[in-house]
Amino acid sequence: MEKKEAGQRISKLRELINYHRYNYHVLDKEEISSAALDSLKHELFLLEKEFPEFITPDSPTQRVGGQPLKEFKKVSHKVAMISLEDAFSQEELLDWEKYISKLSGAKVLQYFCELKIDGFAISLIYQNGIFVNGSTRGNGLVGEDVTQNLKTIESLPLKLELHKGLPKDLEQNIQEALDDGQIEIRGEVYMTKKEFARVNEERGLQGLELYANPRNLAAGSIRQLDPKIAASRKLSFLAYDLITDFGQTTHSQDHQILKALGFKTDSGQICDSIQETLDYCKRIEDKREKLPHLIDGIVININDNDTFTQLGVAGKAPRGARAFKFSAQEGTTIIQDIKVQVGRTGTITPVAYLKPVEIGGTTVTRATLHNIDQIQRLGAKIGDTVIVQRAGDVIPAVTKVFTELRTGKEKEFKMPKACPVCNTELIRPAGEVAYRCPNKECFGRKKEFLYHFVSKKGFDIDGLGPEIIDQLMEAGLIHNPQDIFKIKKSNIIDLERFAEKSATNLIEAISKSKKISFNNFIFSLGIRHVGENTADDLGQVFGSIQNLMQASEEQLKRIPDIGPKVAQSILEWFSDKNNIKMIQSLQELGIEIAKYQKHGGKLSGKTFVITGTLDSFSREIAGEKIINLGGHVGNTVSKATDYLVVGADPGSKLKKAQELGVKVLNEEEFLEIIK
């Protein structure tokens, strides 16, 4: 390719890649697959490698690269990065409104509410539209230059382009700054729950210490001297403040401008009263666990910029804003004892028995300490005062010990030499952090395995929870999975907790569960290192249980995200004659393992997108139901979308669907389709 032709091709590729970056990260719209986008980026990389004279700082290829730094340079903030004062109750917000109403002299105040992402605050500087510097908050006046690491974040634009939709006067002022001027943006670097789980799952397989929470991991990633580490973490960026004055009059306008410049930002909500604000906070708190990222509250700003400025700053916080904090996800308490429990694969986990503490609306009495190495890293002892953290469905964990509060009466924990259930001597395989009970007949292991077998992602037997399983095992009615499908009504009707109706319901639930999807069946087997995602990957590749049983190590390792350790674990499980016998026995008892069907089914060829909160079940379960019927679940609305399922508080996807003429279903209509 000639130099001139290469230059033109490079320019067009950059423009196309930036267009799709904006669509995906700002408009939540995916017109091409990630594989196709990666292919475009690769072509650009090869062309720039051949013609390096065309490489510019804002090229998409410059996101990952650069040599590790020796240290971070200090950066002074022209406008201080101040923090917000917190409010924890309705009364505090009402008092705040009285205070600012009196100071401002305004009889009616309008508020702008936005999510308070649990992330890491960053300031960005763009010169003539090109990203030139990014720095941390530091002490508010001086931060650290982390530009190289910030460039690795896909949702952070390297070059600003003005998208239409703003008033003419604003567009003109912004365009002048893009052509010849400086623009400063503030925002939050964060990590999604899904990405955090992926990183920790990988570390767990490697026997490494697990990270405590997404916020600390995001902050730690940005403060790595090697940008390749930050790039591997797949961080996200959300803009929340525009420092540069373009003549905007409200904070909601700040957000409109940020979006028009190519930033992902929370659309938030304008509230005309403090009561409307409180109602919004309540709605968000109720669904916070369903959000893809952690939030710890709502930021409430006076929407009018002049009033906000007039109110000024008190101490280190603006008077015109408050951070309304949700129920704490952390709390302090005392470790009253440490005991170990045995898992389904024999893993021995130390568990802290706590003085009961209220965290996020739930009373917590136990927390995991993961393994003996983690106990030693924390320096945890029985009697210590500790921080306990919980997030959604994640098991509460001890994250910090206050050694300063020790009295001298604390006791060290020692790992037992034998299994607490079967008394078999524990082993610690080379290269692993966990101790294990090697006895496959251990009652504790069998009990945990049965809990897993009937769980929601396994056979999903309604009414057969841990307490009932314990009762049936103690009564000698079940010893293994096969026994569950041999239970008769007459066996259980006289047991405690059972009566005519409950016994009938359980037998019907067991019978109903006999038809199971391939991935759920694989998950139910409890194969070490095989979780929900891996089970789905195995289904896509092998299709049936018979094919999987005959799989070779090479076939397994060709599957993305399945390495030697996971492949070996699968092979070992299927090489055990007792496991094969269990599968055969289950099939003889009438268990029907459906072949994995990526296509076919009632909703075959149909693409659904879900927005808002559903009453009947979570969006994740709704997605599973669509997939089980042969349909596809998309993240963004496009011309290829067949249906948009709308729950309460739908986002911008509803408007997009209406613009494109996509069929919109309410929850009742959706339930009718999947019934």
What span, in angstroms and rounded, lies between the C-alpha atoms of 26 and 144?
27
Contact 289, 98 (CB under 8 A): no
Q: For residue 323, count CB atoms less than 10 angstroms from its CB and return exposed for 0-12, middle for 13-18, buried for 19 or more.
A: middle
In whole angstroms, what separates CA 304 from the centre of its chain?
A: 34
Phi-psi region of 50 (alpha: psi -120 to 50; beta: other; left: phi over 0): alpha
Contact 255, 170 (CB under 8 A): no
Six token digits for residue 468: 């009932």
Q: Could you tell me which of 290, 326, 322 has the C-alpha nearest to residue 651?
A: 290
What values do phi and psi take at 311, rounded to 5?
-70, -25
Residues near 74 by beta carbon (within 8 Å), at least 6 away in sequence: 138, 142, 143, 144, 145
Q: Which residues of 398-434 are buried (b: 16+ CB within 10 A; e: fewer)?
A: bebbeeeeeeeebeebeeeeebebbebebeeeeeebb
Q: For the chain, how big is the Rg over CA atoms in Å?
A: 28
Which 3-state string (H, E, C) describes 422-491? CCCECECCCCCCCEECCCCCCHHHHHHHHHHHCCCCCCCCCCCCHHHHHHHHHCCCCCCHHHHCCCCHHH
Q: Could you tell me which of 487, 520, 674 has the C-alpha nearest to residue 592?
A: 520
Contact 88, 296 (CB under 8 A): no
Place of tokens 């503490």: 357
Element (H, E) at 607: strand 607-611
Q: How far from each other are the two terminal CA atoms of the chain, in whole angstroms?
A: 57
Contact 622, 635 (CB under 8 A): no
Proportion of the chain in helix, strand, coil states, percent, rounded to 5: 40, 20, 40
Which of 116, 446, 447, 653 is catalytic? The answer is: 116
Element (H, E) at 187: strand 182-190
What span, in angstroms and rounded, lies between the C-alpha atoms of 304 and 112?
9
Q: Could you tell me which of 321, 353, 402, 283 has the C-alpha nearest to residue 87?
A: 321
What span, in angstroms and rounded, lies between the C-alpha atoms of 14 and 6?
12
What span, in angstroms and rounded, lies between the C-alpha atoms of 254 and 256?
6
What string of DSSP letters covers 257-270? HHHHTT--B---EE
Q: Give catalytic status of residue 116 as yes or no.
A: yes
The residue type found at 609 is: V
What span, in angstroms and rounded, lies between the C-alpha atoms of 38 and 162?
24
Strands 74-76 vs 592-593: parallel, antiparallel or unpaired = unpaired
Q: Could you tell me which of 402, 119, 92, 453 has the C-alpha nearest to residue 278?
A: 92
* Catalytic machinery residues: 116
